[in-house]
Structure 1
Amino acid sequence: MINVTRLNGKSFALNALYIESVEAFPDTLITLTTGRKYVVLEEIDEVNAQIILFYKQVQVLSNPHIRGENDEE
C-alpha cells in the first residue's frame, strides 16, 4: 500500500498493484485498473517513489523476468 493525501487533507492508502497510471494536470491524478481516479496532493515523483518502494517491499521487482532480464540467450 502507498499513503497519499486527498485535496481536503485526509490521508488514505492505495494498493499500488492496482495503479494503472499517475499523471499531473497540474494536480496529481492516480488512475486504478478499475477506472477509479484519485486526485492527491503528493507530487508525481513522490507517488512514483512510493510505488517503487512498495514493489521492492513485496518483491515484485525481484523477479528477473519482470525486470526484463532473461537467462536464456
Structure 2
Amino acid sequence: MIKITGLDKKEFVINSEHIEKLEQIPESVITLTNGHKYLVKESNDEIIRKVIEYKRKIFIGDVR
C-alpha cells in the first residue's frame, strides 16, 4: 500500500499491486486493474519511487 495525495489535498492509500497504468496530463492519473481512475498530485516518477520503496520493505520484511 502506498500513500497518495488527491487533487483535494487529502491523502489516501492504494494497493500498489492493482496499478495497471500511470498517465501524466499534467496531473498523474492512476488506473487500477478494476478500471477505477484517480487524479493525484504526485508525478509518475514519485509514484514509481513509492511503489519500489514499498516493495523493497516487503522483500526485506520491514513493513511498518
Scaled by the length of structure 2, the TM-score of the pair is 0.85
Which stretches in structure 1 are left out of the alignment for 5+ residues?
A: 60-73
Length, aligned pairs only: 59
Structure 1 stretches of 4+ with a deviation exceeding 4 A read none
Pair member with larger Rg: 1
Match of 2:49 in 1: 49
TM-score (norm 1): 0.76
Aligned residue type for 1:22: L
Q: Percent identity?
A: 39
Query: Structure 2: any 5+ residue segments left out of the alignment?
Result: 60-64
Q: When you count strand as a share of all residues, which structure comes out higher? A: 2
Considering only aligned residues, what root-mean-square deviation do their CA atoms show, in Å? 0.8
Q: Which amino acid aligns with 1:31?
A: T
